[in-house]
């Protein structure tokens, strides 16, 4: 009773000061952080009429549901959103400005969590079939992975520090960056290698795998999908997008195809494990491995609060290949709902949902397919940056500055990196060249805005929410020379020769809009419609646990989450 009265007093009199929970407050046994890759904010309720109790429905009915949550950074890509949810910081602080960036010291593109000092423990796991559908992986020069490039602490790091390392901290995902970012510097990360069909980690985390990991991988769980296919969960006539099983813009990868059933092929066939990750099977494998983590590491089994991050990736891959308004996306969400229900049921059995703080969010949203939008009267299309320097305007710029070579060093979305060595050799002013190229870029079809890094660093731009989101994304050592924003509903669809239906990565609302739901551990259900930023997630978890906020976090504490008996 005293605890309740004290918390009520702080809430009423000091508002956000209630975040400073005293050390004698009850603590949960587990923090379960669920991240769904490319889950736009409207998606959890889009097909709710066919979702039974237990998954999204349970979270929506029993949680604090923020209906207007947005990422506040401009480059809405996987690592950027995951790192923001983990740290409560903008990419300008945590440093994960994109899935890749150009490293001016090495003169090469860099993959966000690549670290050649720490190799994957499983032989042959470094050359990943994921490259076929995730070209950012092709940038990596080694199989080394670690969180070293994340420049500030995560919530899970702060939990480890608070508990003198006693808290057990794990991150699990199909994607390496989905696991590493959330596990932070102090936890353990596991991700699925398509090359070997196993969950792997690097020697940043372990000298050798625990016995239970070797045993789980030895069981060959992925092979059970061999010779089977992704089939519809229900009769096709019951689906909203029942007539959209063969759209011309969908990506075809044989034998997976673009119509149901989507064959996985033989367990020994080329691309088999990649096809699993393009479907609900990838999320099912993540669920199975996460269960093994809980059971074998005794997660939530003692008085010290543990942390488990589970990042589901299938929604992202399905969104890229088929678009969010497709039969595949609809069926995937219905199956994801079952996977979530199974995860929550398992945690309830092993730890108890009343003993668990659950937070579900997404790393980014996603756009509709341009051809689909065209049918609704929108002008939408794809952009081709590889053609920019061949245009007449660039030829005139080269003549103006006396440059005969390519002035663009690299385009790593959304940044354009200039050939600074050439600019210096010609004795040109970098800021002047940046500004001139930015002015030329906005003349191209599909380009809405181009801002030079010099202008960003000097604080010479301000005003709109879009500009602020670009500033939130700007890191002086990693960002390119010019930030390029495409018009709404325009984006790149050519991933090194693989044509995809839709690609996220913009500052527009369809890409920034994500769900944020807190549930469990005495949460008082509520629906909140004011706008919040995803930088609030980590500091709110810190407030619940009484830890200090992550080192780069300046997000608000969500007071509705603190309002618990």
Residues linked to residue 108 through DSSP beta bridges, in sequence order: 103
Mean pLDDT of 537-561: 97
pLDDT of residue 338: 98
Which H/E stretch holds residue 183?
A: helix 176-183
Strand partners, 262: 230
pLDDT score recorded for residue 21: 40
DSSP characters over 96-137: --SSEEEETTTTEEEETTB-TTS-BSSTT-SS-GGGGT-GGG
Q: Could you read off the pLDDT of 277-335 as tens digits, one per residue? A: 999 999 999 999 999 999 999 999 999 999 999 999 999 999 999 999 999 999 999 99
State the helix-helix crossing angle for 314-322 and 280-296, rounded to 10 degrees. 170
| 263 against 402, higher pLDDT | 263
Tell me what the mean pLDDT of segment 38-45 comes to: 98
d(CA 244, CA 90): 38
How high is the pLDDT of residue 4?
33
In CATH terms, are 2-372+507-562 and 384-444+447-486 the same topology? no
pLDDT at 128: 58
pLDDT tens, residue by residue, 334-365 = 999 999 999 999 999 999 999 999 999 999 99
Beta bridge partners of 399: none
User: Which of 6-10, 31-35, 372-376 is predicted least confidently?
Assistant: 6-10
Given a cut of 60, whether residue 131 has pLDDT beyond it is no
Task: State the pLDDT at residue 497.
Answer: 55
Pick from 229, 309, 238, 330: which is nearest to 276 by CA? 229
* Domain locations along the chain: 2-372+507-562, 384-444+447-486
Model confidence band, residue 498 (pLDDT cutoffs 50, 70, 90): low
Global pTM value: 0.93
**pLDDT value of position 554:** 92
pLDDT at 542 exceeding the cut of 70: yes
- CB burial readout 238-259, b (16+ within 10 A) else e: ebebeebbebebbbebeebbbe
Protein fold of 384-444+447-486: Gyrase A; domain 2 (3.30.1360)
Beta carbons of 351 and 68 less than 8 angstroms apart: no
For the stretch 393-439, pLDDT in tens is 888 888 898 887 788 888 999 999 999 999 999 999 999 999 999 99
What is the per-residue pLDDT for 252? Answer: 87
Token pair recorded at residue 520: 């469990």
Q: How large is the average pLDDT for residues 5-34? A: 56
11 pLDDT tier (thresholds 50, 70, 90): very low
Q: Please give the average per-residue pLDDT across 11-31, as a whole number.
A: 56
User: What mean pLDDT value characterizes the chain?
Assistant: 92
Kindly report the CATH number that applies to the domain delimited by 2-372+507-562: 3.40.720.10
Supply the DSSP string of 330-354, one letter for each residue: HHHHHHHHHHHHHHHHHHHHHT-GG
Three-state SS at 264: coil
Reported as a single tens digit per residue, the pLDDT across 192-247 is 999 999 999 999 999 999 999 999 999 999 999 999 999 999 999 999 999 999 99
């Amino acid at each position: 009773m005293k605890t309740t009265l004290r918390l009520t007093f702080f809430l009423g009199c000091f508002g956000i000061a209630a975040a400073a929970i005293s050390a004698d407050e009850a603590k949960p046994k587990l923090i379960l952080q669920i991240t769904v890759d490319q889950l736009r904010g409207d998606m959890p309720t889009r097909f709710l009429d066919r979702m039974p109790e237990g998954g999204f429905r349970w979270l929506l009915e029993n949680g604090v549901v923020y209906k207007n949550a947005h990422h506040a950074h401009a480059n809405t890509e996987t690592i950027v959103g995951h790192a923001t949810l983990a740290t409560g910081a903008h990419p300008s602080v945590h440093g994960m400005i994109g899935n890749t960036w150009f490293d001016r010291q090495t003169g090469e593109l860099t993959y966000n969590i690549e670290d050649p000092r720490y190799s994957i423990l499983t032989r042959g796991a470094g050359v990943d079939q994921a490259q076929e559908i995730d070209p950012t992986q092709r940038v990596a020069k080694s199989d080394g992975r670690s969180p070293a490039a994340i420049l500030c602490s995560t919530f899970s790091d702060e939990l480890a520090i608070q508990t003198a390392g006693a808290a057990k901290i794990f991150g699990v995902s199909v994607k390496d960056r989905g696991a590493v970012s959330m596990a932070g510097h102090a936890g353990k990360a596991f991700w699925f290698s398509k090359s070997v069909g196993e969950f792997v980690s690097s020697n940043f985390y372990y000298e050798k795998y625990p016995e239970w990991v070797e045993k789980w991988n030895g069981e060959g769980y992925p092979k059970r999908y061999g010779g089977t296919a992704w089939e519809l969960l229900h009769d096709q006539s019951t689906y909203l997008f029942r007539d959209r099983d063969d759209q011309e813009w969908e990506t075809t990868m044989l034998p997976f195809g673009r119509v149901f059933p989507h064959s996985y092929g033989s367990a020994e066939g080329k691309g088999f494990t990649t096809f699993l990750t393009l479907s609900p099977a990838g999320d099912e494998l993540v669920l199975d491995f996460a269960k093994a983590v809980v059971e074998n590491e005794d997660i939530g089994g003692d008085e010290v609060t543990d942390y488990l991050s589970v990042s589901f990736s299938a929604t992202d891959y399905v969104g890229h290949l088929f678009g969010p308004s497709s039969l595949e996306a609809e069926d995937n969400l219905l199956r994801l709902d079952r996977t979530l229900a199974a995860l929550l049921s398992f945690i309830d059995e092993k730890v108890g949902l009343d003993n668990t703080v659950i937070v579900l969010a997404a790393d980014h949203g996603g756009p509709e397919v341009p051809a689909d939008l065209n049918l609704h009267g929108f002008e939408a299309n794809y952009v081709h940056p590889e053609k920019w320097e061949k245009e007449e305007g660039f030829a005139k710029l080269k003549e103006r500055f006396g440059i005969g070579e390519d002035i663009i060093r690299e385009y790593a979305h959304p940044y354009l990196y200039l050939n600074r060595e050439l600019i210096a050799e010609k004795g040109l002013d970098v800021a002047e060249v940046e500004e001139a190229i930015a002015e030329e870029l906005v003349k191209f079809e599909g380009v809405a805005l181009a801002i030079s890094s010099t202008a960003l660093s000097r604080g010479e731009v301000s005003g709109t929410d879009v500009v602020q989101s670009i500033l939130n994304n700007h890191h002086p050592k990693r960002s390119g020379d010019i930030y390029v924003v495409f018009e709404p509903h325009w984006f790149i669809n050519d991933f090194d020769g693989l044509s995809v239906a839709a690609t996220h990565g913009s500052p527009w609302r369809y890409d920034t809009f994500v769900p944020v739901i807190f549930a469990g551990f005495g949460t008082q259900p509520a629906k909140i419609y004011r706008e919040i930023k995803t930088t609030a997630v980590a500091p709110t978890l810190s407030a619940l646990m009484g830890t200090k906020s992550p080192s780069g976090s300046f997000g608000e504490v969500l007071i509705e989450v603190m309002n618990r008996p």
